[in-house]
Structure 1
Amino acid sequence: MRAASLLLLIALPGPLAAQSFCTPVTAEPLDAPTVVGNGTPGSITRTALQAALDAGGPILLDQGPAPTTVVVDQTLVAGRGLVLDGGGLVTLSGGNGRRILSLVNPDPRPDAPQFTVTLQNISFRDARSSGRGGAIYKEHDFEFPHKLSLKLVNCLFENNHAPLDGSTQDDGGGAFYGELLQRIDIGGCTFRNNSGSNGGALYSLGSREINIVDSVFETNAAIGTGGNPGNGGNGGAFGVDGGDRRVDVCRSRFIGNTSNAFGAGFFSVMYDATSRSRFEDVEFRGNRQLSNSQHSGGAYIQDGPWAMERVSFIDNEARGFGGLFVAGNAPGLIRNGTFVGNIAREGLGAAMALPSGAPIEIINTTIAHNVSTAAFAAGISIGSPNQLRLANTVFAYNRGGNVFVNWAMNNPASFDGGGNQQWPAQRQSGNTNGGAETPVTAGASFADPLLPGAAANNGGFVPTLAAPANSPLINSGVASVAGSGTPVPPTDARGEPRVGAVDRGSFERQPDGRIFFDGFETP
Structure 2
Amino acid sequence: MRLRLFAAVVAFGVAIPALTACGPSVPRADPRAGQPAASGTDPDPASPTAGQDTPGGQTTPPARTGLGGPSPSASASPKPPASPQGVRDTGNPTGRVSVPAAAQAVDTSRPTRTIGNGSPASCTSTAVVRAIAAGGIITFDCGPDPVTIQMAATAKVRNANGPKVVLDGGGKVTLSGQGKRRILYMNTCDPVQGWTTSHCNDQDHPQLTVQNLTFADGDATGQRTDGGGGGAVFVRGGRFKVVNSRFVDNRCDRTGPDLGGAALRVLDQHDDQPVYVVNSTFTGGSCANGGALSSIGVSWVVLNSVLRDNEAVGDGANPARAGTPGGGSGGAIYCDGDRFSLRVAGTVIEGNDAKEGGGAIFFVSNNRTGTLRIENSTLRRNPSHGFETYPGIFYLGSGKPTFASATIR
TM, length-normalised to structure 1 = 0.53
Matched letter for residue 95 of structure 1: Q
- Give the alignment of 1:53-202 within 5 angstroms: 53-80=132-159, 81-105=164-188, 106-107=194-195, 108-110=197-199, 112-130=203-221, 131-139=228-236, 147-164=237-254, 168-182=256-270, 183-202=274-293
Give 5+ residue unaligned stretches, structure 2: 1-11, 20-94, 189-193, 222-227, 321-325
- Give the alignment of 1:281-360 within 5 angstroms: 281-290=376-385, 293-295=386-388, 297-305=391-399, 306-314=401-409
CA deviation vs aligned residue, 1:56-95 (integer Å, no higher than 9, x gap): 1110012111111001111110134311000100000001
Q: Determine helix, strand or coil for the equivalent of 2:122.
A: coil
1:248 corresponds to? 343
Contact 2:99 2:303 in 1 (8 A): no
Give 5+ residue unaligned stretches, structure 1: 11-16, 140-146, 315-523
Distance 1:184 1:267 in 2: 17
Tell me which of 99, 114, 126 is aligned to 1:47.
126
Deviation at 1:299, TM superposition (A): 1.2
Deviation at 1:258, TM superposition (A): 0.4
Q: Determine helix, strand or coil for the equivalent of 1:152.
A: strand
Tell me which of 322, 327, 330 is aligned to 1:235.
330
CA deviation vs aligned residue, 1:75-122 (integer Å, no higher than 9, x gap): 110134311000100000001111111112132512854331000000
Deviation at 1:195, TM superposition (A): 0.8
- Give the alignment of 1:321-470 within 5 angstroms: none
Deviation at 1:47, TM superposition (A): 2.1
Distance 1:25 1:160 in 2: 24
1:215 corresponds to? 305
Distance 1:57 1:194 in 2: 29
CA deviation vs aligned residue, 1:182-213 (integer Å, no higher than 9, x gap): 33110000000101100001101112x31110
Q: Determine helix, strand or coil for the equivalent of 1:289.
A: coil
Deviation at 1:49, TM superposition (A): 1.7
Matched letter for residue 138 of structure 1: V
1:337 corresponds to? none
Matched letter for residue 6 of structure 1: A
Matched letter for residue 364 of structure 2: V
Contact 1:22 1:250 in 2 (8 A): no
The answer to whether 1:30 aligns with 2:108 is: yes
Q: Determine helix, strand or coil for the equivalent of 1:288.
A: coil
Contact 2:13 2:404 in 1 (8 A): no
Query: Would the alpha carbon gap of residues 295 and 211 (structure 1) be closer, same or farther in structure 2, given more than 3 Å must change?
Result: closer
Matched letter for residue 301 of structure 1: Y
Contact 2:134 2:158 in 1 (8 A): no
Matched letter for residue 78 of structure 1: V
Contact 2:125 2:151 in 1 (8 A): yes
- Which protein has the bigger strand share? 1
- Give the alignment of 1:256-271 within 5 angstroms: 256-271=351-366
Matched letter for residue 175 of structure 1: A
Contact 1:199 1:235 in 2 (8 A): yes
Distance 1:78 1:232 in 2: 29
Distance 1:272 1:24 in 2: 29
Distance 2:198 2:403 in 1: 39
The answer to whether 1:276 aligns with 2:371 is: yes
Contact 1:22 1:248 in 2 (8 A): no
Deviation at 1:148, TM superposition (A): 1.1
2:83 corresponds to? none
Matched letter for residue 308 of structure 2: E
Query: Would the alpha carbon gap of residues 229 and 112 (structure 1) be closer, same or farther in structure 2, given more than 3 Å must change?
Result: closer
Aligned residues: 294
Q: Determine helix, strand or coil for the equivalent of 2:121.
A: coil
Contact 1:120 1:155 in 2 (8 A): yes
Deviation at 1:4, TM superposition (A): 8.7
Deviation at 1:129, TM superposition (A): 1.6
Distance 1:112 1:184 in 2: 15
CA deviation vs aligned residue, 1:225-246 (integer Å, no higher than 9, x gap): 1111121111000110011212
Query: Would the alpha carbon gap of residues 5 and 259 (structure 1) be closer, same or farther in structure 2, given more than 3 Å must change?
Result: closer
Contact 1:124 1:158 in 2 (8 A): yes
Structure possessing the higher relative contact order (Cα contacts under 8 Å, 6 or more residues apart): 2
The percentage of aligned residue pairs carrying the same residue is: 32
Contact 1:19 1:280 in 2 (8 A): no
Deviation at 1:223, TM superposition (A): 0.5
Matched letter for residue 180 of structure 1: D
1:6 corresponds to? 15
Matched letter for residue 40 of structure 1: S
Contact 2:217 2:249 in 1 (8 A): yes
Query: Would the alpha carbon gap of residues 241 and 8 (structure 1) be closer, same or farther in structure 2, given more than 3 Å must change?
Result: closer
Contact 1:176 1:201 in 2 (8 A): yes
Contact 2:14 2:403 in 1 (8 A): no
Contact 1:22 1:249 in 2 (8 A): no
